[in-house]
Amino acid sequence: MQPNQPSNQTSKSNPYFFLNETPESTKSSPGKNLIPSKGSMKSRIILVGFGLIFIIIVVIIINSIMSGAKNGNQLTFANVVQDQSILLSIADSGTKNSATIPILNLSGTTKLAITRDQGQLLSVLSSSGVTISSKDTKFQNPIVNSNLSNALLNGEYNGAFLTNYQDSVNTYLQDIQKAYPGANPSEKKVLDQIYNQGKLLLEGVKNISSI
């Protein structure tokens, strides 16, 4: 046997000696730990801080989106309630200022239908947490009021009534359609009902106009 030549005595006596060997890659080196030392604590604190900040930002963004959606729904529903108030105002004017039977009948039907529909809508919105101002339930359209007042003075009330009534119903139906996509199932059910009623009112005024 030559000097410095590795002995293979172990391998000959135990052919499975390699099973007891520890791979070099798994041996711990002096001064190196698998668990970060105290010196890395500052870095971990910084990472945790950034993580918390990120979570807070995400929560704020989600809340902002939800709040914006809720405010948008409230605005579209407020427009529908305002439209109902305008129609009630026109119908009230019709019962007071027209002597034409079809207009009187339409005005009476409108007051009953819209009063009922507005009550149902306000009820379901209240259950959903949507607040509608009393200003919306008593809303007046100054342009419509002026048109009817001037027409009454000029002896052209019936024509002005039918024109402003039909325009207001069309706006009402359009605003219901705008409110529908953001509504929940209960709200959509009511919107379907008042939309169908609005179409009946529109057919009613068209029939009078064609007489």
CATH number at residue 181: 1.20.1260.10
pLDDT at residue 101 above 70? Answer: yes
- pLDDT tens for 79-98 read 999 999 999 999 999 999 99
Task: Return the pLDDT at 200.
Answer: 98
Residue 165 resides in a domain = yes
Cα separation, 79 vs 170, in Å, equals 13
Task: Return the pLDDT at 150.
Answer: 98
Q: Is the dihedral of CA 128, 131, 134, 138 positive or negative?
A: negative
Task: Return the pLDDT at 168.
Answer: 98
Q: Mean pLDDT over all residues of the chain?
A: 83
pLDDT band at 162 (very low <50, low <70, confident <90, very high): very high
Q: Report the percent of the chain where pLDDT is more than 90.
A: 63
Task: Return the pLDDT at 49.
Answer: 73
pLDDT band at 53 (very low <50, low <70, confident <90, very high): confident
Q: Regarding predicted confidence, which is higher, 28 or 197?
A: 197
pLDDT at residue 24 above 80? Answer: no
Residue 63 resides in a domain = no
Residue 83 resides in a domain = yes
Task: Return the pLDDT at 38.
Answer: 54
pLDDT band at 23 (very low <50, low <70, confident <90, very high): low
pLDDT at residue 26 above 60? Answer: no
pLDDT at residue 41 above 90? Answer: no
Residue 33 resides in a domain = no
Residue 49 resides in a domain = no
pLDDT band at 43 (very low <50, low <70, confident <90, very high): confident
- pLDDT tens for 105-157 read 999 999 999 999 999 999 999 999 999 999 999 999 999 999 999 999 999 99
Residue 156 resides in a domain = yes
Q: Which residue matches tokens 């729904």?
A: 73
Domain count within the chain: 1
Contacts of 197 (CB under 8 A, 6+ apart): 113, 117
Residue 151 resides in a domain = yes
Residue 20 resides in a domain = no
User: Which domain does 133 fall in, by range?
Assistant: 72-209
* Helix-helix angle 157-179:142-153, to 10 degrees: 170
Cα separation, 172 vs 192, in Å, equals 13
